[in-house]
């Protein structure tokens, strides 16, 4: 199916979107990438959803990306003697410790010695998604005495956030390691890594994935924001996970962080997803709020590669409508003349290679001459990513003989991905590009396209040719001496 927009839509699968029929409807509504949340559902459920996606992919004849989102370590308090828990009052004293005895209104177990090892007086502990906030007054290897700064209810096994310190915790728990191996063997295209604090977390996941999936780092902790340059360099893509960021940081700090991270990802030619609570009201309502629509539009104007639905498509009452809403917002934003002005104004690229120069020239030619599409032959996806970084006004056709590359590129802004046969000559590449553009409805025989490729073919990082070519094959053969 030909998409008439550039931004990609990531839809999370869950109870509301199970089964081949619903996955097909979500794809037809506009979903480009399907997210499998490893925090919910066993391996049998994940396997069934993966198989359903691949069946829809075969029926549609177009690559579809699958993103497996690893759970990451979960920090939770223990249980209370009273099942309903307690309400902590402002100014009250409260202790966390390693004692497994059920908690009271004065203390509770926190079965994570690594937290106590990292805490310092003045650090904050956030409970229940940040609704309850405490300040550490004194701490040791097995306790933290705190003052309640913002009170509220606490109950069994509520989540605990520690925003002010880098925790000596690996991003991958034992469950994550088992899940990673399972989904890589299953055949997913992207791995989303939770609880990233440092580049070493990404390197560990990459060593375990062994090239079977691309690594996407979720930025959801202040430490990840601080170390973002190193994390970005180690990652294949980024997710701005605003939900957890908004818990551990002041909510007013999140929008400028989002804008800054999106720009850095674009400059690095790596895809970035803006995620969490984008159309939250559509979990229960067939219509979004105006603020939510504005939020989605803001991410698009910032240049995000993709926007993501979580509970809206996984557990909500209107999953298809939520995808359609995102699709319609994208169509409206991208048809705004100001959109292209903003994309051009935010183009900040240091050009240092032949490939950089070629993709920049391709965009400039497309904006000067009546060009219908830029066709990139790519072995690894690198050339198409560089073209996408330019945010051209014409479609980007990413052509590759490698199915895994085509699927991964489904997350990249503007890339319409197609599988080609192996090529050995540039003329064959031009003919293949022209046919793809015509068959896909991007151009007619009277139109022109731009073709970029690397010679010799099938060598990663060798982009060195640009040609403005006619779409009519008789003209290709008439004007090409080969």
CA-based nearest residue to 450, from 406, 385, 381, 392: 392
Opening angle at CA 266, ends 430 and 202, nearest 5: 105
Question: Can you tell me the distance from the alpha carbon of 332 to that of 362, in angstroms, rounded to the nearest whole number?
Answer: 26
Cα dihedral 471, 477, 481, 482 sign: positive
What amino acid positions are annotated as catalytic residues? 35, 76, 218, 276
Cβ(392)–Cβ(364) below 8 Å: no
Question: Can you tell me the distance from the alpha carbon of 436 to that of 247, in angstroms, rounded to the nearest whole number?
Answer: 46
With H, G, I as helix, E, B as strand and everything else as coil, classify residue 270.
coil
Question: Can you tell me the distance from the alpha carbon of 13 to that of 24, in angstroms, rounded to the nearest whole number?
Answer: 12
With H, G, I as helix, E, B as strand and everything else as coil, classify residue 374.
strand
Beta bridge partners of 376: 398, 452
Cβ(234)–Cβ(197) below 8 Å: no
Cα dihedral 398, 399, 404, 405 sign: negative
Cα dihedral 406, 407, 409, 410 sign: positive
Q: What contacts 432, CB < 8 A, 6 or more positions away?
A: 399, 420, 421, 423
Which runs of consecutive H residues, i.e. helices, occur in 268-402? 290-302, 311-314, 319-334, 337-345, 354-368, 382-389
Question: Can you tell me the distance from the alpha carbon of 142 to that of 144, in angstroms, rounded to the nearest whole number?
Answer: 7
CA-based nearest residue to 163, from 192, 197, 189: 197
Cβ(309)–Cβ(322) below 8 Å: yes
Question: In this structure, how many other beta carbons lie within 10 angstroms of the beta carbon of residue 199?
Answer: 19
Edge-to-edge, what's the strand order for the sheet holding 396-400? 415-419, 396-400, 371-377, 448-454, 463-470
CA distances from 350 to 367, 390, 439 (A): 20, 12, 36
With H, G, I as helix, E, B as strand and everything else as coil, classify residue 445.
coil
Q: What contacts 83, CB < 8 A, 6 or more positions away?
A: 155, 156
């Amino acid at each position: 199916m030909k998409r008439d927009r550039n931004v990609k839509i990531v839809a999370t699968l869950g109870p509301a979107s199970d089964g081949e029929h619903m996955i097909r409807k979500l794809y037809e509504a506009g979903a480009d990438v399907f997210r499998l949340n490893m925090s919910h559902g066993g391996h049998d459920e994940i396997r069934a959803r993966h198989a359903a996606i691949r069946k829809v992919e075969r029926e549609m004849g177009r690559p579809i990306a699958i993103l497996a989102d690893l759970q990451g370590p979960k920090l939770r308090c223990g249980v209370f003697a009273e099942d309903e828990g307690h309400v902590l009052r402002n100014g009250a004293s409260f202790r966390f410790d390693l004692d497994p005895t059920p908690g009271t209104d004065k203390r509770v177990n926190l079965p994570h010695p690594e937290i106590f090892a990292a805490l310092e007086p003045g650090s904050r502990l956030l409970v229940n998604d940040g609704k309850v906030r405490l300040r550490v007054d004194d701490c040791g290897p097995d306790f933290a005495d705190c003052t309640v700064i913002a009170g509220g209810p606490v109950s069994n096994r509520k989540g605990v956030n520690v925003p002010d310190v880098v925790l000596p915790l690996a991003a991958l728990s034992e469950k994550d390691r088992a899940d990673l191996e399972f989904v890589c063997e299953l055949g997913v295209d992207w791995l989303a890594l939770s609880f990233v604090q440092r580049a070493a977390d990404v390197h560990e996941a990459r060593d375990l994935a062994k090239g079977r999936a691309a690594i996407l780092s979720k930025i959801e902790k202040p430490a990840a924001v601080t170390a973002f340059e190193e994390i970005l360099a180690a990652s294949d893509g980024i997710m701005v996970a605003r939900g957890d960021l908004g818990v551990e940081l002041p909510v007013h700090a999140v929008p400028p962080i989002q804008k800054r991270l999106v720009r850095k990802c674009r400059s690095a030619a790596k895809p970035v997803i803006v995620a969490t609570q984008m159309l939250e009201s559509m979990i229960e309502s067939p219509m979004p709020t105006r603020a939510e629509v504005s939020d989605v539009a803001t991410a698009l104007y910032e240049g995000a590669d993709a926007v993501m639905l979580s509970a809206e498509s996984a557990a909500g009452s209107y999953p298809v409508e939520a995808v359609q809403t995102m699709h319609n917002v994208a169509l409206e934003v991208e048809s705004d003349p100001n959109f292209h002005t903003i994309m051009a104004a935010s183009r900040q690229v240091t050009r240092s290679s032949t490939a950089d120069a070629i993709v920049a020239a391709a965009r400039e030619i497309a904006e000067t001459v009546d060009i219908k599409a830029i066709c990139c032959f790519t072995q690894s996806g690198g050339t198409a990513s560089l073209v996408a970084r330019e945010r051209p006004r014409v479609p980007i056709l990413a052509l590759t003989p490698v199915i895994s590359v085509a699927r991964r590129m489904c997350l990249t802004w503007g890339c319409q991905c197609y599988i080609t046969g192996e090529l050995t000559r540039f003329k064959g590449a031009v003919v293949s590009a022209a046919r793809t553009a015509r068959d896909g409805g991007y151009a007619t025989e009277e139109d022109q396209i731009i073709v970029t490729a690397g010679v010799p073919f099938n060598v990663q990082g060798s982009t060195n040719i640009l040609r403005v070519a006619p779409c009519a094959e008789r003209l290709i053969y008439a004007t090409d001496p080969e």
